[in-house]
Amino acid sequence: MKKNRILTIGAGAAVLALGLAGCGGDSGSGGGTGTEGGDASEVEVFTWWAAGSEKAGLDALVSVFGEQHPDTEFVNGAVAGGAGSAAKDLLQSRLQQGDPPDTFQAHAGAEIQDYIDAAQVEDVSDLYDEFGLNDAFPADLVDRLTVDGAIYSVPANIHRANVVWGNTKVIEEAGVDPNATYETIDDWIADLEKIDASGATALSVGQAWTQVNLLETVLLAELGAEGYEGLWSGDTDWASADVTAALEDFETLIGFTNDDRDGLDWPDATQLVIDGDAAYNVMGDWAEAAFAEAGAEAPADYVYFPVPGTDGVFDFLADSFTLPVGAPHPGGAKAWLETVSSAEGQAAFNKAKGSIPARTDADTSDFGAYQQTAIESFGQDTIVSSLAHGAAVPVAVLNDITDATSKFTSGASDLAGFQDALVAANAK
Amino acid sequence: MKGIRRVGPPLLLLAPSIILMAVFVYGLIAANFATSITDNHTAAQATGQKPSVVVWFDNYVELLKTDDFQHSLWNLILFTVVFLAGAMIMGFIWAWILERPSKGEGIFRSIYLFPMAVSFVASGVVWRWLLNSNVDDKASGLNRLFQIVGLDWLQNPWWNHITFGIAAIAIPAIWQLSGYVMALFLAGFRGIPDELREAARMDGATEWQLYRHVLFPQLAPIALSALVIIGHMSLKSFDLIMSISTAANYQTKVPAIDMFLLKNSWDYANSAAVGTVLLVIVAVIIIPYLWWTNRKEDSR
C-alpha cells in the first residue's frame, strides 16, 4: 500500500506541476501598458525583410534608429517567406484579432486600400506635417499616397519594376549586341528570336507573380504611360484591341522562357541570368543586389535597361510603413516612422537594399551606378504604379489577375480566354 | 434517480470532451456555414465596417458554376484516385511480402515506415527539385536521372502538365503514406489465426489459393479503414501542394488551396463556402463508413 501512496502522490505532483505551467501565462512581447502620449518603450516592426539585401537594408535602418531614438527598443517582427505572402497571412489574422504590431510594412498604393476599408490603419497626414515630409517627398508621390484627402503610410524607398537584366556573354554568343537599344518590344523580340534560335533560353521568368511583373511591363510598353494608368482608373478598356496586341506580345515572350518557370521564385529566375543559363530577365531593381552579391560588373558581365518601349516611364513601387489602429506602443511607432522618413534613415536603408530614397534630399552621393541612374530617372520620367507590387490595384483584383496569368501561361486558356478573365478581374 | 446514477458518472467523464467538441468542432462548423451564406466578400465587410446580408446559397451556386472551381474539383478527384490506388497497392504488396516471418523483417518494416515521420513541407521541398519539369538539356531531378539511366522517353513535365499534373504530386504522398498502409495490412495479416491457415492447407489448398480465398477476404475491413483514412487525408491535402508547387499555380489547384487564396483576398464568404463543400465531400465518405461499422458492431 505504501508503494501505491507514493505513486499517487507522485502522479498528483506531476498533474499539479503541469497545471501550474499551463496557467502561468506569458505576458507576450508587448510588455508595458500604453501611456496617454503613446508608449515609446519599444516598437515591434513587422516586415518580410528576413534575408538577403532586404535584411541588410533593415539592419542599416535599425542602426540609424538606434542613434536617433536610443530610448526605444527595436523588436524585430520579421516573417520570412514568399516575398511577403507568409507575412501578409499572419498580419491579416493579427489585425483581425485586434493584436496589431506597432508598425507594419505594406506596399504603398492600392494594397493599403483593404486596410483602410477595414479601419485598421491610422491617418498619418499630421505626421507628414510634423516631419516636413510634404516638401521632402516628390509631389507626385504624395498625390499617389493620398486617399480621400488622408495619407496612410510613410514610404521608405522607391523601386522600379520595368528593368531588363541581361548576361553579356550569353547575348554576345548568340550574335546580338548587348548594348543595343530597342524602340519597341517588337524590335527586342526580333533579337530574342535570334538568341532562342541559338539554343539558349532567351528570357527567364519565375512563378506567377514574376509573370505578372512581365505582363505589366508589356502592357506599359504597348499602351504607353497614359493608357496603362487608364487600365486601373477605368479609362482604358481591357477588352480593346491594344490590350489584345499587348497580350500577344506577352504570349510571344512567354514562348521564349524556361519550362520550369512555375517552380522558381524570382532569385532563381534571376540566377539563371547570372549563371549564364539565360540571356535576359525582366525584374525590378532589387535584382541589382543579386548581381552585386555574385560579384558581377556592369557592363562587362551584365547589362540593364528599361523594358523596350518603356524608356522614359518609371514603373514604381514603394515599401512603406503604417501606423495600425490600436498599436500597443504608438510612441515607438511614431519614432520608427520618423527614422524611416528621415534623410539619414533613407540614405542608409536604400544604400544597403539597392533601391532609391523616396526623399529628394537624401545624401545619395555614394550610391551605386545603377541607383544613380534610377534616381535620375525618377526625377525626370513619367511615373506609373506597378500592378504586381500592390501600387495599382487592391489585393483581390491582383490575385484574380495572377490566377488568370497562371492559367494562361500553363496552357489552360487561350488568348481570348485570358483577356476575358482580365476583363472580369478588373470589373470588380 | 437510478437512471442518473447510471448515466451520470460516464457523462461527467465525457463532459469536457463533449464541450470542447461542441464548441471547437461543431460550433465553428456552424460559424463557417453562417459566413458562407452571407455576401462578405470585401475587407470592409470582414471587419464589420460595412454590413453584409444573408444571400443563402448564391455563393455555392456561383462557385460551382465557375470553370476554375470545377478544375479544382477535378484535380482533387484525380489526386485522390491516384493517391489511394498507389498507397493501397504499394502498402498491400509490402505487407504481403513481409507477412511471413523472415530475417531482417524489422529493418524493412522500419525503412518503409520512416517516410511517414517526415513532414510534408520538408519532403515537398526535396520533391520540388526532383520533379523539376525541364527536359533534355536543362533537365535536373528525376528527368536527369532518366537520361543518365538511358530511359529518355520517360521524361515528362511532372506537375506542370495541365490536366494530369496533380497526379505527379500524388507521388510524394504515396511515398510517404504507403508505409502506414503497410503497417495496417501487416497487423491484419498477423491477426488471422494460424488455425485457419493450417486448416486450409489440410484441405489441400495451394499457397495462392490460401491467400486468395482465406486470407485476403479477412483483410477486407482493414482495407476499408485504410481506404477511408487515406481518402480523407488526400481530400485535405494542402501543405504538400503548397511546398511543391506554391499556391498560385493553376495546374495544381485544389479546393483547399482555393480556400486559402480566397481568404487572402478578403473574400471570406466564398472561402467559407469552399470549406463547407470540402466538408460535405469528406462527410460523404466518412459517415456511411462509420454507420456501417456501427451497425456491424451492434449486430454482433
CA distance A124 to A30: 23
The verdict on A245 and A393 lying in the same domain is yes
CA distance A101 to B128: 34
Mean pLDDT of A330-342: 93
Query: Does residue B248 form part of some domain?
Result: yes
Residue A25 has pLDDT above 60, yes or no: no
The count of domains in chain A is 2
Residue A177: partners with Cβ closer than 8 Å, 6 or more residues away: A171
Confidence bin at A222 (pLDDT 50/70/90): very high
Mean pLDDT of A161-181: 92
The verdict on A327 and A310 lying in the same domain is no
Q: Express as a percent the part of chain B with pLDDT over 70.
A: 99
Question: Residue B236 is placed in which grid cell?
Answer: 485535405
The verdict on A375 and A392 lying in the same domain is no
Residue B254 has pLDDT above 60, yes or no: yes
Query: Does residue A193 form part of some domain?
Result: yes
Give residue A170's pLDDT: 93
Weakest mean pLDDT among A314-323, A370-379, B78-87, B151-160? B151-160
Assign residue B233 the CATH number of its domain.
Answer: 1.10.3720.10
The verdict on A299 and A414 lying in the same domain is yes
- Helix extents (H) in chain B: 2-21, 28-36, 43-46, 58-65, 67-98, 105-113, 120-130, 142-149, 165-191, 194-202, 207-209, 216-218, 220-235, 239-245, 255-264, 268-299
The top-scoring range by mean pLDDT among A6-15, A157-166, A350-359, B211-220 is: A157-166
Instruction: Give the pLDDT confidence of B284-298 residue by residue, as tens digits.
Output: 888 888 888 888 777
Query: What residues in A contact B265, CB-CB < 8 Å?
Result: 395-396, 399-400
Residue B71 has pLDDT above 80, yes or no: yes
B253 Cα to chain A: minimum distance (Å) = 10
Instruction: Please tell me whether residue A365 adopts helix, strand or coil conformation.
Output: coil
Mean pLDDT of A58-73: 93
The count of domains in chain B is 1
Mean pLDDT of B177-183: 93
Instruction: Give the pLDDT confidence of A372-385 residue by residue, as tens digits.
Output: 999 999 888 888 99
Give residue A401's pLDDT: 94
Instruction: Give the pLDDT confidence of A393-405 residue by residue, as tens digits.
Output: 998 899 999 999 9
User: Does residue B248 belong to the interface with chain A, where contact is any CB pair within 8 Å?
Assistant: yes
CA distance A23 to A46: 29
Give residue A85's pLDDT: 78
> B133 versus A371: which is more confidently predicted?
A371
Instruction: Give the pLDDT confidence of B186-211 residue by residue, as tens digits.
Output: 999 888 888 888 888 898 888 888 88
Query: Does residue B11 form part of some domain?
Result: no
The verdict on A178 and A126 lying in the same domain is no
Query: Does residue A98 form part of some domain?
Result: yes
Query: Does residue A13 form part of some domain?
Result: no
Give residue A74's pLDDT: 93
Query: What residues in B contact A113, CB-CB < 8 Å?
Result: 43
Query: Does residue B18 form part of some domain?
Result: no
Query: Domain residues for A270?
Result: 160-316+387-426
User: At which residue does the C-alpha cell 539565360 appear?
Assistant: A278
Query: Does residue B200 form part of some domain?
Result: yes
Mean pLDDT of A263-273: 89
Residue A44 has pLDDT above 90, yes or no: yes
Confidence bin at A23 (pLDDT 50/70/90): low
Of the candidates A143, A101, A102, the residue with the CA atom closest to the CA atom of residue A125: A143
pTM of the model: 0.85
Mean pLDDT of B18-42: 93
Query: What residues in A contact B247, CB-CB < 8 Å?
Result: 85
Weakest mean pLDDT among A27-36, A240-249, B15-24, B172-181? A27-36
Residue B87 has pLDDT above 90, yes or no: yes
ipTM associated with this complex: 0.81
Residue A414, exposed/middle/buried by CB under 10 A (0-12, 13-18, 19+)? exposed
A260 with B134: Cβ contact below 8 A:
yes
Query: What residues in B contact A403, CB-CB < 8 Å?
Result: 68, 248, 250, 261
CA distance B257 to B265: 12
E strand residue ranges, A227-386 = 278-283, 302-306, 313-317, 319-322, 382-385
The verdict on A102 and A171 lying in the same domain is no
The verdict on A66 and A137 lying in the same domain is yes
**Is the alpha carbon torsion for B178, B183, B186, B187 positive or negative?**
negative
A403 with B47: Cβ contact below 8 A:
no
The verdict on A226 and A264 lying in the same domain is yes
Residue A149 backbone phi and psi in degrees, to 5: 85, -5
User: Does residue A275 belong to the interface with chain B, where contact is any CB pair within 8 Å?
Assistant: no
Give residue A11's pLDDT: 80
Query: Does residue A245 form part of some domain?
Result: yes
Give residue A22's pLDDT: 60
Query: Does residue A33 form part of some domain?
Result: no
Q: Please report how the helices B165-191 and B220-235 are oriented relative to each other, as an axis angle in degrees rounded to 10.
A: 150
Rounded to a whole number, what is the distance in angstroms from the first to the last CA of chain B? 31
Mean pLDDT of chain B: 89
Q: Among A343, A361, A379, which residue terminates a domain?
A: A379
User: Does residue B265 belong to the interface with chain A, where contact is any CB pair within 8 Å?
Assistant: yes
**Running DSSP on this structure, what letter comes out for residue A125?**
H
Query: What residues in A contact B141, CB-CB < 8 Å?
Result: none
The verdict on A322 and A295 lying in the same domain is no
Residue A41 has pLDDT above 70, yes or no: yes
Q: Among A341, A363, A379, which residue terminates a domain?
A: A379
Confidence bin at B300 (pLDDT 50/70/90): low
CA distance A37 to B148: 69
Confidence bin at A317 (pLDDT 50/70/90): very high
Give residue B206's pLDDT: 87
CA distance B28 to A148: 38
A114 with B266: Cβ contact below 8 A:
yes
Interface of B with A in 33-72 (CB under 8 A): 42-44, 46-47, 49-50, 68, 71
> A339 versus B3: which is more confidently predicted?
A339
User: Does residue A53 belong to the interface with chain B, where contact is any CB pair within 8 Å?
Assistant: no
Vertex B268 angle, CA B265 and B269, to 5°: 130
Mean pLDDT of A185-209: 92
Query: Does residue A26 form part of some domain?
Result: no
Query: Does residue B40 form part of some domain?
Result: no
Residue A356: partners with Cβ closer than 8 Å, 6 or more residues away: A157, A158, A159, A350, A364, A367, A371, A374, A375, A378
Assign residue A223 the CATH number of its domain.
Answer: 3.40.190.10
CA distance A278 to A280: 6
User: Does residue B261 belong to the interface with chain A, where contact is any CB pair within 8 Å?
Assistant: yes
Query: Does residue B55 form part of some domain?
Result: no
A209 Cα to chain B: minimum distance (Å) = 8
Give residue A1's pLDDT: 62
Could you tell me if A253 and A189 are in contact, meaning their C-beta atoms sit under 8 angstroms apart? yes
Mean pLDDT of chain A: 89
The verdict on A85 and A118 lying in the same domain is yes
Query: Does residue A27 form part of some domain?
Result: no
Instruction: Please tell me whether residue A108 adopts helix, strand or coil conformation.
Output: coil
Residue A27 has pLDDT above 70, yes or no: no
Question: Residue A310 is placed in which grid cell?
Answer: 518603356
Q: What CA–CA distances, in Å, run from A392 to A107, A152, A231, A395, A427?
A: 10, 16, 9, 10, 14
CA distance A72 to A63: 12
Query: Domain residues for B212?
Result: 61-299
User: Does residue B270 belong to the interface with chain A, where contact is any CB pair within 8 Å?
Assistant: no
Residue A35 has pLDDT above 50, yes or no: no
> B124 versus A34: which is more confidently predicted?
B124
Query: Does residue A22 form part of some domain?
Result: no
The verdict on A340 and A307 lying in the same domain is no
**Running DSSP on this structure, what letter comes out for residue A263?**
G
**Running DSSP on this structure, what letter comes out for residue A307?**
P
B47 with A96: Cβ contact below 8 A:
yes
User: At which residue does the C-alpha cell 508547387 appear?
Assistant: B245
User: Does residue A115 belong to the interface with chain B, where contact is any CB pair within 8 Å?
Assistant: yes
The verdict on A257 and A180 lying in the same domain is yes
Rounded to a whole number, what is the distance in angstroms from the first to the last CA of chain A? 76
Residue A232 backbone phi and psi in degrees, to 5: -90, -30
Query: Does residue B13 form part of some domain?
Result: no
Query: Does residue B10 form part of some domain?
Result: no
Residue B6 backbone phi and psi in degrees, to 5: -80, -45
User: Does residue A420 belong to the interface with chain B, where contact is any CB pair within 8 Å?
Assistant: no
Instruction: Please tell me whether residue B156 adopts helix, strand or coil conformation.
Output: coil
Question: Residue A255 is placed in which grid cell?
Answer: 514562348
